Amino acid sequence: MPNLPLPFKVSDFPSALWILLGLIVFLQIVGILQRLALGSRLKRLQRQLGSRRSESKTDAATPAAAGTEQAGLFEEYLDEDPQRKLLSKKEQFDGFRKWRSEKGLNWSK
Residues 27 and 49 in one domain: yes
In a domain, 107, yes or no: yes
Residues 108 and 79 in one domain: yes
33-74 pLDDT, tens per residue? 999 999 999 999 998 888 887 776 665 555 555 556 667 888
In a domain, 10, yes or no: no
In a domain, 2, yes or no: no
- In angstroms, the Cα distances linking 11 to 15, 17, 20, 78 are 9, 9, 14, 99
Task: State pTM to two decimals.
Answer: 0.38
DSSP the chain: -PPPPPSS-GGG-HHHHHHHHHHHHHHHHHHHHHHHHHHHHHHHHHHHHHHHHHHHHHHTHHHHHHHHHHHHHHHHHHHH-GGGGGS-HHHHHHHHHHHHHHHT--TT-
In a domain, 72, yes or no: yes
Which pLDDT score, from 0 to 100, does residue 107 have?
64
65-101 pLDDT, tens per residue? 555 666 788 888 888 888 888 888 899 889 988 888 8
Residue 24: pLDDT band (50, 70, 90) is very high
Which pLDDT score, from 0 to 100, does residue 101 have?
86
- CB 74, CB 95: distance < 8 Å: no
Structural domain tally of the chain? 2
Higher pLDDT, residue 23 or 66: 23
27, pLDDT greater than 70: yes
In a domain, 4, yes or no: no
Higher pLDDT, residue 51 or 32: 32
Residues 21 and 47 in one domain: yes
